[in-house]
Structure 1
């Protein structure tokens, strides 16, 4: 950790605050969230603004993310081969299930939907792309977590209090750990109402040539449509991840 610059870390922490906050924030609020002095926060903002990572609203005098981040995000996606690789598979999965299909990856201790193809139904469930969320919070994320070492699972589940999204969300680490064991044993996850009431997700992992889980694919939709077709959608999802894994060089033993 001797190689870490505290100023750079604080700048990164500041930028991350906007992921789960209102569009604009002021110095006072940022100071409280970062537990830094207003003077230190103002210096961070000025530096980030000079490089285009932060911009100030001249009317409100509050700050929001800058366009440089959008450029960098676009560059990441352009270079992210699995996004382009997944598109025809997601397209085909949507055409066969008529529901939303998403590609989920792990980034450090979070999960992110990096690609999606929307449902063909006029009334449909959708998700916000490129938003971070806990690795225990959705079927797609739990599939990723299930194939991580137990020590990492414990770290994720015990680092912060579990977030509750609906009355059906997991309330204990033990419940999630049991679910992770089940996911790994059967190779998929089916979950209803845990992140969004009335919504069911069916997810399965993608393996690379080394046998490592690189991402997951999930089909998500209103429970009253998905549950009657649960087995059919599950088989389509499993067929999709098997085909993707095979093209990535994975060979089942």
Structure 2
């Protein structure tokens, strides 16, 4: 009798583990999708019946991890999952490690310093130290930096191997080990960003500055670039010493 009860307990435990695995597979599929995903598409991708996928989606929806799309059919991430994601990002190891280097970068240059991580559509700011005396340069966590004018977004696009490559990035990396861009005809603000890599060579984040475009034209001062490179090197050494992307060109 005891062995029979143990077998039943093992079967129940195995079923629960399997349910968790399926839930994670569904969330992975939603992560990779650029639009709401239908039940039939999820079932086909996961090799499961629509009925089984629907049961899991119903549970995930009740838990707030998945939502129905507002327009049309399909499912998207739920608010609770986005809340978990934001908490994980803002409390992550690299954000904590970067804080003193952002402070030093701001203190050494007088310009707004920021840390940005890969995000769908560009780079998301996860930490910043703002210059309170320079109007129009208030950067806050959660802000999305986008192509083509954001060096942070361009670095992420470049090192994730997306096509077409952003213009000037490879040349700037080869000459300076970082990217920069002036935007005199838009906001009047420019940026400098240097990459920081994961232990496996994937891009983890960028660290850099937001400042007046006039300071980047026709070329930024080498001393300014040096301070950004130094901050990136320090953060890289703390986070994953020696890591580098195979896409990183040799600096001339």
Structure 2: stretches of 5+ with no match in the other structure: 1-20, 40-54, 68-77, 245-249
Q: Determine which of 235, 238, 246 is the counterpart of 2:229.
A: 238
In 2 relative to 1, CA 239–133 (structure 1 residues): closer, same or farther, beyond 3 Å?
A: closer
CA RMSD in angstroms, aligned pairs only = 4.6
1:116-135 deviation digits (Å, cap 9, x = unpaired): 22124252413342355556
1:249 aligned partner? 241
1:180 aligned partner? 169
Q: Determine which of 141, 148, 162 is the counterpart of 1:153.
A: 162
Secondary structure of the 1:230 match is coil
TM-score (norm 2): 0.59
Structure 1: stretches of 5+ with no match in the other structure: 18-32, 37-42, 56-64, 158-172
> Stretches of 4+ moved more than 6 A in 1?
33-36, 43-48
1:223-250 deviation digits (Å, cap 9, x = unpaired): 2466599313222111111222233312
Residue 207 of structure 2 corresponds to residue 217 of structure 1: yes
Residue 111 of structure 2 corresponds to residue 77 of structure 1: no
2:70 aligned partner? none
In 2 relative to 1, CA 16–135 (structure 1 residues): closer, same or farther, beyond 3 Å?
A: same
- In the TM superposition, 1:39-78 aligns within 5 A as 50-53=62-65, 66=79, 69-78=82-91
TM-score (norm 1): 0.58
